[in-house]
Structure 1
Amino acid sequence: METNIDLWRDDTSLLDDAARYRRLIGKLIYLTVTRPDITFAVGVLSRFMHKPREVHWTAALKILAYVKSCPGKGLLYKKHGHTHISAFSDAGYAGDMRDRKSTSGFCTFVGGNLVTWRSKKQDVVSRSSAEAEYRAMAHTACEMVWLRKFMTELGFVQSEPMPMHCDNQSAIYIAQNPVDAWEKKIVSLTFTPSSQQLADILTKATSSKVFSTICDKLGMVDIYAPA
């Protein structure tokens, strides 16, 4: 998705066939189950299903062109010699220009491999970026706790705290209170610079260079790419 595109403008014409747009977005939503690289863009475009415009159709075709250019791109799972759980949590503050709601994003790793990810608009309006980040961290912590219990049932016990990477110091300070999982030594909060935040592509549109770098770090490879 282009970094400077304005999808909330209402001066473009409505699509004559809105059902065609809904069918395309619906198919792309299914594709996000295995393609974290398009999750944010598809999630944003799905917000305009009720009244799609030409600008939305153009953006959807851009996603389609990207998928067509790399049909063999996907996640490659490797053996790293451990089953530790970790996660990256991020938030795009006030990303929706209509209601000023932020977008939460997280990606979780088990044994060094990406297993779950999510990009979702928050239910309420956050008054600051720290509040938006804290809400995203709460969702991430829930996912990490669920993964830990699931792995325990499979016989893989992780006794040490699970690291969660966040690029907002204020949100980390807010989370360090007696009622959070941090105090219970379940999750350890680690400050990570924005340049190393892997959940960035789940909360906002990034430059092609940053996008490509994060996809590589998430473990995505193109099996048809020349050696």
Structure 2
Amino acid sequence: MKLYQSLVGSLIYATLTRPDLSYAVGVLSQFMHCPRKEHWIAGQRVLRYIKGTLREGLYYGFTSDTRIKIYSDADWAGNVDDRRSTHGYLCYVGDKLISWCSKKQHTVALSSTEAEYKGMVEAAKEVIWLKTLLKVFDVIQSTPIICGDNMSSLYLAANPVFHARTKHIEIQYHFLREKVIEKEIEVIHTPTKDQVADMMTKSLDGPKLQRFKDMAGIKKIEKNLN
């Protein structure tokens, strides 16, 4: 058990600079107190992936764009054991990735709309924090954008109307709706094929993962930095 915990702890550290590891490591971390052989094997697969992409990392070039844009997504009831959803986001300033998250939700969502909406609320919290930080440094800001691919959750965020199928959503989650009404945050639709946060909520095939890695700014470092 201690060896598995040490492995996962090291992998969690690696996710600080490699968002493409976040989902897999998040799944592994759910078994810290009761790991089985298959979890150890899965951890070894992640290590092999890291070995094959050892020279990859986030690239930050110059940009004058300082608008906050965050992609938010959720995989509804993706956990087969407890049917809880996983949400994730990638937060950009201009076209540079600044922060990211992949997290299993604490409660079961009764619909994909609810799962996506809860994920957007977590993204909104990150937006507000980052907006406040940039303000400290006198960075001029236009209205931050949250990009989602679920039309129902976007409608729920932008329209102050309660419906029978969404009235059970806890009051705290209407924090996002308030920010949208006050024009502190804008929510827009992005096509599923361009939803880069998808890689934070589920396992993807090689070509799709590579495309989203490119969108996240993860590049192969050709030069030796030493």
Q: Do the aligned partners of 1:79 and 1:111 also contact (CA within 8 Å) in 2?
A: no
> What is the distance in 2 between the residues matched to 1:180 and 1:40?
30
More helix by share: 2
Deviation at 1:188, TM superposition (A): 1.1
Matched length = 207
Gaps of 5+ in 1: 1-17
Q: What is residue 9 of structure 1 aligned with on the other side?
A: none
The residue aligned with 1:132 is 115
Give the secondary-structure state (helix, strand or coil) at the position aligned to 1:133.
helix
Superposed structure 1 runs of 4+ greater than 4 Å apart = none
CA RMSD of aligned residues (A): 1.2
- Partner of residue 167, structure 2: none
Question: 2:94 & 2:69 partners in 1: Cα distance?
Answer: 9
Q: Secondary structure at the match of 1:136?
A: helix
Task: Tell whether the 8 Å contact from 2:20 to 2:199 is kept in structure 1 after alignment.
Answer: yes
Alignment of 1:168 with 2:145, yes or no, is no
- What residue is the counterpart of 1:216 in the other structure? 214
Structure 2 gaps of 5+ residues are 161-176
Q: Distance in 1 between matches of 2:201 and 2:158?
A: 24
Counterpart CA distance in 1 for 2:98 and 2:26 is 19
Counterpart check, 1:148 vs 2:131 = yes
TM-score normalised per structure 2: 0.89
* Separation of aligned partners in 1, 2:79 and 2:29: 12
8 Å CA contact 2:67, 2:143 repeated in 1:
no
**Structure 1 segment 1-227 matched on structure 2, within 5 A:** 18-158=1-141, 160-178=142-160, 179-224=177-222
Matched residue SS, 1:182? helix
TM-score by length of 1: 0.88
SS of equivalent to 1:165: strand
Please report how far the alpha carbon of residue 191 of structure 1 lies from its aligned counterpart in structure 2 after TM superposition. Answer: 0.6
Instruction: Report Cα offsets for 1:43-81 as digits up to 9, x if no partner.
Output: 001101111112111111111001111211110011122
